[in-house]
Chain A
Amino acid sequence: MSARSMILDEIRAVAAEHDRTLARLTDELPLLDSGLDSLCFAVLVARLEDSTGLDPFAAAGTARYPKTIGDLIAFYDEVLV
């Protein structure tokens, strides 16, 4: 499974569990407008770490954070290669 479909699937699952209404998930969509709150992001990052063994957020520190859905996918793509 590609990072893209894995991440999008997990976003939808987390949003459903937390009763969040998602915006249409395009690469340009700012994460802050996606409908996920910071707790949802935290859960998303933890779930992705469980499936990939990697947490690029912990590795990056706070130096650079992805701003859009596209950034987020690229963020994982970088560490998953």
Chain B
Amino acid sequence: MEGGVGLGRAVSTREHVLPLDDFAQASSLGAHLAALEGRSVVLFVRDMAKAAAALIDLDGWARRIMLCPPGWTPAQLAAVVGEAEANGLVYDGDDAPPIAMPLAAPCGLPLRPLKTARAASRETEWILPTSGTSGPPKLVVHTLRTLTGAIPPATSQQWATFYDIRRYGGLQIFLRALAGRGSLTLAGIDESIDAFLIRLGRAGVTHISGTPSHWRKVLMSAEARRIDPACVRLSGEIADDAVLAALRTLYPRARIEHAYASTEAGVAFAVDDGKAGFPAAWLENEGAVRMRIVDGALQLRSDRAALRFLGAGAAALADEEGFVDTGDMVERRGDRLFFLGRRGGIINVGGAKVHPEEVEAALNAHAAVRASRVFARKNAITGALVVADVVLRDAHASEAGLEREILASCRARLPAHMTPARLRFVADLPMTGAGKLARHG
């Protein structure tokens, strides 16, 4: 992995500017870089620009890099050090080392000059921990080759993302920006969406990626028109027609695409016809990504998939034929396939199965609704009922009569058992660190 030379490109957060031209002779790890060669390194920093610098420093140099997601505690780090066979730590130079390790290197910006140019040569393993709903994270093994399989040849796009680059969705954008000839703008620690949009406008960003939840926040922001993107990319959650149409109205000149990828299965495809779902004919494609549906769930096979899960006794990542089960349920309607939701997220209403995401799509289709979160409520008669929290487009709208009206429009679209029994109007919906709607708690 190389920074461009002489192009003036940079990775910027609010706090730091990381010039990509300087990497040939400089490092965020200074004199510590030499000792990290060939080691299995855990990367535990707060600032995303430092994470970016350390990734460029360590790829091809370390045997293995484990990217700790933002907000991890030292205890979470300590719990995976053994499985990762870590024998090196890169920590934020503004902090104390989070845990004791045989070799601990502080990461700092600006870059410090190197006495001798490095000759990176090995194929480094990139380890991405995925957060399960319970239990320890699974450690997903990629390499630069699997991570960049879907990235087009160099372009002059000016990228930004609402994601953190230490998770798969954000890492894709980081690697896209590096492969191209443009720069990358990233969020600062705890930076508000309004402040970030203002910064993106000033940076002249052309391509922006985030989850539908991120984009719904943009749609609710008074600063949404600070940016005038050529490309709006959604991934990480199901993009419904409502959010796609709202973005089309807000950014009429943008190409609006929703991409499907998972940490385990890699990037599968991007859809840019402005509609939810994807063409069923793609199941027959014999290109780089093969798809099939088994028991309603999408399975993928491609050379962008991760290599394996790390750790003794870890489950197999793919079946004997190389297909990865995504756990995402799909349904065919006409000539299109639609995502229904996660296999594990189903609500059972008196024996009938409900995907929360499907109900959310119906709620979000109502003109007054900006975002919604559907969940189960225990019920003595049917075991569970569907209920929902709803964020209105107009925070000052009168809620009187609106519950009835929104539910009536849901009933016109959905079977009775899928229509929420109750709505609760809320100002905001909780998001996970990965920018997805928080479904638990």
- CB of A41 within 8 A of CB of B407, answer no
- CB of A46 within 8 A of CB of B416, answer no
Q: Confirm or deny: A78 has a beta carbon within 8 angstroms of a beta carbon on chain B.
A: no
- CB of B407 within 8 A of CB of A39, answer no
Least distance between A21 CB and chain B CB atoms (Å): 15
CB-CB under 8 A from A45, the residues of chain B are 379-381
Least distance between A66 CB and chain B CB atoms (Å): 12
- CB of A38 within 8 A of CB of B350, answer yes
A30–B382 Cα distance when bound, in Å, is 19
- CB of B422 within 8 A of CB of A17, answer no
- Point out the residue from B350, B404, B408 that lies within 8 Å of A42, measured CB to CB: B350
Total residues of chain B contacting the partner, CB 8 A: 18
- CB of A42 within 8 A of CB of B416, answer no
Q: Confirm or deny: B62 has a beta carbon within 8 angstroms of a beta carbon on chain A.
A: no
A55–B378 Cα distance when bound, in Å, is 11
Question: Given A17-B407, A46-B421, A46-B422, do A38 and B382 touch, yes or no (CB 8 Å)?
Answer: yes
A45–B378 Cα distance when bound, in Å, is 11
A4–B411 Cα distance when bound, in Å, is 28
Q: Confirm or deny: A50 has a beta carbon within 8 angstroms of a beta carbon on chain B.
A: yes
CB-CB under 8 A from B404, the residues of chain A are 17
- CB of A42 within 8 A of CB of B381, answer yes
- CB of A57 within 8 A of CB of B417, answer no
CB-CB under 8 A from B408, the residues of chain A are 17
Question: Given A47-B421, A47-B422, do A57 and B380 touch, yes or no (CB 8 Å)?
Answer: yes
- CB of B407 within 8 A of CB of A46, answer no
CB-CB under 8 A from B387, the residues of chain A are 46
CB-CB under 8 A from A43, the residues of chain B are 385, 421
Mark each residue of chain B from 355 to 392: 1 if its CB lies under 8 Å from any CB of chain A, else 0. Answer: 00000000000000000000001111110010100000
- CB of A58 within 8 A of CB of B417, answer no
Q: Confirm or deny: A18 has a beta carbon within 8 angstroms of a beta carbon on chain B.
A: yes
Name B residues whose Cβ lies closer than 8 Å to a Cβ of A. 349-350, 377-382, 385, 387, 404, 407-408, 411, 416-417, 421-422
